[in-house]
Amino acid sequence: MAVLARAGGEAIRAHLADAAPLPPHTRLRGPETGLVMLRGRAGGDGAAFNLSEMTVTRCSVSLPCGAVGHAYIAGRDQAQAELAAVLDAALQDPARRPSLMAAVIAPLAAAQAALDKAEARKAAATRVQFFTMATMR
């Protein structure tokens, strides 16, 4: 769910083209957009406080086999939420799971990890190396 929440609807669709077609689904609820209140903690580790709301889209679907899938994703992309919910349901089917994991989830997770890694490296490149101070000590 975390991987699908961070992926754009188009990215999910692009990877789905490589997988077996998804079964038809029934919408149980949504997709609908609402708000979730974000919280922080005083001092980073103290009492919780309400920081700001954020837009969130949710969707729940069921498949003919009876599996129910849910998705809550940041933002307003209703197509992404619906796809994520269908995938959540389809991934519960042991017959479909391996191919969906390989075709959709694994590449999305790898792409997200690569972006995170690149950003962490850019940040590390801006880490100050106090070399003159070190030699003066």
Partner 1 sequence: MMRPGFTDPVLDAQSCFRAVLEAMSRPGRVQRLAAPLQPPAPLAPATAAVLLTLVDAETPLWLDAGDEAAEWVRFHCGCPIATTPAEAAFVLATGTPPDIAALPQGTDEAPEAGATLVWQAAALEAGQGWRLSGPGIEHEHRLRVGGAPEGFRAAWAAQRGRYPRGVDIILCAGEAIAALPRTTRIEEG
Partner 2 sequence: MAYVAVKGGEQAIGNAHAWLAETRRGATAQPELDVAQIEQQLGLAVDRVMAEGACHDRGLAALAIKQAQGDLIEAAFLLRAYRTTLPRFGHAAPLDTGRMRLRRRVSATYKDLPGGQVLGPTYDYTHRLLDFALAAEGGAPEAAPQAAEGLAEAPRVTELLAREGLMRRERASEDEPADLTRQPLAFPAGRPARLQNLARGDEGFLLGLGYSTQRGYGNNHPFVGEIRQGRATVCFTPPELGFEIEIGEVEVTECQMVNQFHGSKAEPPQFTRGYGLVLGRGERKAMSMALVDRALMAGELGEERAAPAQDEEFVLMHSDNVEATGFVEHLKLPHYVDFQSELEVVRRMRATAAAPQEVAE
Nearer to partner 1, 14 or 68 (CB): 68
Asked if 123 is part of the footprint of partner 2 (rule: CB under 8 A), the reply reads yes
Residues numbered 1-60 forming contacts with partner 2, rule: CB under 8 A:
1-2, 5-6, 32-56, 58, 60
For position 70 contacting partner 2 by CB under 8 A, the verdict is yes
Task: Give the span between the Cα atoms of 15 and 98, in whole angstroms.
Answer: 14
Q: Which stretch binds partner 1 (CB under 8 A): 8-16, 29-37, 73-81, 82-90?
A: 29-37
Intra-chain end-to-end CA distance of the chain, in Å: 51
Q: How far apart are CA 114 and CA 133, in angstroms?
A: 34
User: What is the Cα–Cα distance from 82 to 88, expressed in whole angstroms?
Assistant: 10
Strands 68-74 and 48-62: antiparallel
Q: Which residue, 29 or 97, has its beta carbon nearer to partner 1?
A: 29
Residue 78 within binding range of partner 1, rule CB under 8 A:
no
